[in-house]
Every structure is written in C-alpha cells, then in structure tokens.
Amino acid sequence: MPFVSVVNLGCRVNRVESDRMTVDFARAGFGLVDEDEADLVVINTCAVTGEAEAKTRKAVRHAVNLPRKPYVVVTGCAVNLHPDSLAELSDRVVIEPMKTDVAARAADLLGFGETGACDGGLDSRELADLLGRSRLGVKIQDGCNNRCAYCIVWKARGPERSVPVDAVLEQVREAHAAGIPEVVLTGVNLGAYDGMGPDDNHVEIDELLDAILTETDIPHVRLSSIEPMDVSERLVRRMAAEPRRVAPFLHLPVQSGCTATLQRMGRPYSAEEFERTVARIREILPAASISGDLIVGFPGETEEEFEQTRAFVERVGFSRLHVFRYSARPGTIAAEMPDQVAPEVMADRSLAIRKLVERTARADAQARIGTTERAVVEYPGRGTLGSFHRVVLDNAPDLAVKSIVDVAIMYMDEEGVLHGRPVLDADE
C-alpha cells in the first residue's frame, strides 16, 4: 500500500476540493499519512495574493526535501497561473491541473495501477470519520466572471460554471448518509450558481436551496460566501421559511465601506447599496448574523475613506469580519495603481477594524441570549450555532459529536463565549 498526504492551502473551495481528493485516495486503497511518512505528497495550491503564491513555493520545497524523497503532485490555482515555475523546483514535482485526476496520476507514479482501483471502497460513515468533519463543504460552483481590480482568481479559476442540480443533491445525500448533520454550499462565486436541472432548466441559488430542502433529508444547510449583489429577496425568504434547517447566516465579502474605494476596486455596488441589502436581510430574517471580508489599505485609500469604512463597519454590526491588509498581486490592475498605502498605515487600520469588530461581534452574540438556535456539536460539550457563534453546551458532556440539537442560549461568559442548554425533546 502506498502512502499519501494531502496538503491544503488557501480558500474554503480548496478545502472542499482537498477533502474530495482525500476521499478519492481512500477509496482507491491508499494509506493516508502525515507528510513526513508519505511516498507522495499532494499540494492543493493558492495564488490569491503574492504572499499566498510564495507560501505555495515554500510548501513545495518543503515536501521535496522530506527524508523519504516523495513525489510531489501540485494542483490548484498556482498551477493554473505558473506551472513552469513550480515544475522547475525539482524533477520530483509533477504538475496536475485537473484535481479530479490527482488520485489516478498518483497511482500511475507509484505503480499502484489496478491494485488501487476503486471497488466501492469505504462506506459513507467511514468516509465521514476519515475527514473528521461535523460540517461538510459541498462544491456547487467554480470560476468567476467578475474582474475586481485586486483579484487574480478569475484568471486562476476560469469562467463561471455550475454543478448540475442532480450532482449537488447526490453530494448532499452522501453527506447525510455519512451522518454529517450540516452541509455548507460552497463556490468561488456562489450567487452566480446557474446549474442545469433535471428538465434541462436553469436553476438559480434560491431554487437549488429549495431542491435540497425538499428532495433530501439533510438536517442543516449553510451558505458559504456570497456576493452582496447576488443576495436576492427570494433567497432570503427561502432561508427564513426553514429556520430549523437553514443557518441564519450570510457571509458577504464587502471589501470596503467607502463607495469611492469600492469603485476603484471595481466592485459593482456602493456602500449605501450594501447597507440596504443588510437592512432587507434583517427585515426578512431577523435572526441573521452578517459576516464579511474587508480589505484595508487599498491603493488610494485616504484617512477620510478609511474613517468612512470604520463608521460603516460599526453601523452594519458584523458578527465577524475577516480583515485583510491589501497585498499587491502581480498581474492585477491594482498592483499598478498609484498611491500605494504604506505597510505601517495598513497595520494600524487593520488593528482598528479588528478591535471594532470584537465589539460588534460580542453585541451580536449578546443579542442571542434568551433565544433558541440549532447547533452542530463539533467537540464534546461544544458546538457551532446556526449564526456561526461558538457555544458551550452546559450539562451535556455526553451529547454525541456530529449530532445537531436545539440550544436555549442562556448567558455569555467573561471571554465572550455563549453558553446554552440543549433542548433535547425538540424534533431531530
């Protein structure tokens, strides 16, 4: 039996793809081990920033220099952009642009051929144990047609394309059969979903959600990151109609709270439009928590523009916010823009926003005390609420990991962590 290790770099879509490769290897009979024990290392690369691509090269060099001298199969975004520069790192580096072909390529390299052919392999619950997930990503879409000034992903991932509805439903049913209580619908541009339905009709994201809710028994569904302009009233109303099966959570990559900055970024909405979208979400789905991504220090961001963003973040009241310092990505429009912001200014702005979000996140969590939310138990006595806040499950140490339970939220401790009591007589 050959031994393989899968190393994931980058975004949540990469994570889903790496999970799928791991499943492919297990079903084909490979042993899954740590890097230093592997005959072959797979690296699913990232190239979203120059720093991410540098980490990719570092990861490849590290794998090449491991004592067992493994083959290193490299796939993912960095491969799609700069395959030659990675192949030049060693004659044991193998470029494989097709993630679905990685396991077969590994079998060829290791002479595992027919011995490793999939014969039905592991059952669903064994696969769930293998991945160690209580919440499992289901990839429904890839690629992006947007051309944001700071972004290289549209080049690395290619144009938008969607997984057919039947294939999505199959993935969801497989997760449910494995005992996984929550699936997370994931894509590079989730709101652009336009999959083919069983009658060759085009299905949008709200219709796909409806199909999952009506045609599968998965207990809980969560949407991953979705662009603000793609959050339709139909989608929010469908979420609100199933409060026990759909997480009251939306992650919206806002990127800036200043309209002038958003225009330079090439984002197709204003700060005011974003706030109106959030207001509509909260009107239809009052329990919704709003998460997001934000870039500080984009070229030309003045102190006044930053102050507009700071005030915007406070008004929106994010439950969490990923704050990134702008990183010039070669090959993007923004990398050539004038008025690049000094690193120390970006650091100060990042710290200011992070401190602000600590306060807004705490306020969002505090507002949930006295309510009941569903939670996925991810560790003994701990879970994740539909609103994506962590919760300690008091007096429930024996509640099974990978179970889903309604939780009456009782109080918040000094560290800002919610505590709740499982409502064990609720319908499962």
pLDDT at 119: 44
What mean pLDDT is predicted for residues 213-229?
97
Summary mean pLDDT of the chain = 93
Q: Give the pLDDT band (50/70/90) at residue 134.
A: confident
Confidence (pTM)? 0.90
Cα distance between residue 424 and residue 54, in whole Å: 49
Indicate whether 115 pLDDT > 60: no
How many CA within 13 A on the CB side of residue 296?
26
Question: Would you say residue 125 has pLDDT above 70?
Answer: no
Residue 332, pLDDT above cutoff 80? yes
Can you give the pLDDT at residue 396? Answer: 76
Would you state the pLDDT for residue 395? 81
Here the tokens at position 196 are 């083919």
Helix (H) or strand (E) holding 168: helix 165-177
Percent of the chain with pLDDT over 90: 83
pLDDT band per the 50, 70, 90 thresholds, residue 428: very low
CATH number at 372-423: 2.40.50
pLDDT digits (tens, 9 = 90+) for 161-182: 999 999 999 999 999 998 999 9
Average pLDDT estimate for 31-55: 92
Task: Give the pLDDT score at 18.
Answer: 93
Residues 6 or more apart whose Cβ sits within 8 Å of residue 95: 74, 75, 79, 83, 86, 87
Task: Give CA–CA dist 376/400, Å, rounded.
Answer: 10
Alpha-carbon distance values, 154 to 193, 307, 352 (Å)? 15, 30, 31
The pLDDT value given to residue 11 = 87
Residue 427 has pLDDT above 70, yes or no: no
Task: Assess contact for 2 and 112: CB atoms under 8 A.
Answer: yes
Q: Give residue 425's pLDDT.
A: 63
User: What is the structure's pLDDT at 304?
Assistant: 98
- Convert the pLDDT of each residue in 270-298 to its tens digit: 999 999 999 999 999 999 999 999 999 99
- pLDDT, residue 123, reads 61
pLDDT tens, residue by residue, 227-246: 999 999 999 999 999 999 99
Q: Which residue has the higher pLDDT, 119 or 61?
A: 61
State residue 14's pLDDT score.
92
pLDDT at 124: 59
- pLDDT over 70 percentage in the chain: 95
When pLDDT is averaged across residues 357-385 and rounded to a whole number, the result is 96
Sequence ranges of the domains in the chain: 3-116, 124-366, 372-423
Kindly state the greatest CA–CA separation across the chain. Answer: 64
CATH topology for 3-116 is: Rossmann fold (3.40.50)
Q: What is the pLDDT of residue 424?
A: 75
- pLDDT-based confidence at residue 158 (cuts at 50, 70, 90): very high
At residue 367 the predicted structure's pLDDT band, cuts being 50, 70 and 90, is very high
Q: What is the pLDDT of residue 127?
A: 63
For 255-290, b/e burial (b = at least 16 CB within 10 A) is bbbbbbbbebbebebebeebbebbeebeeebebbbb
The pLDDT tens digits for 352-366 are: 999 999 999 999 999
pLDDT of residue 107: 94
Residue 399: the pLDDT is 87
And the tokens for 31?
Answer: 């042993």
In this model, does residue 197 exceed pLDDT 70? yes
Task: Please say whether the structural domain 124-366 has been given the CATH code 3.40.50.1000.
Answer: no
In SS3 terms, 123-159 reads as: CHHHHHHHHCCCEEEEEEEECCCCCCCCCCHHHHHCC
Q: Is the pLDDT of residue 267 over 90?
A: yes
Q: What is the pLDDT of residue 117?
A: 41
Confidence of residue 90 (pLDDT cuts 50, 70, 90): very high
Tell me, rounded to whole angstroms, the distance of Cα 31 from its chain centroid. 27
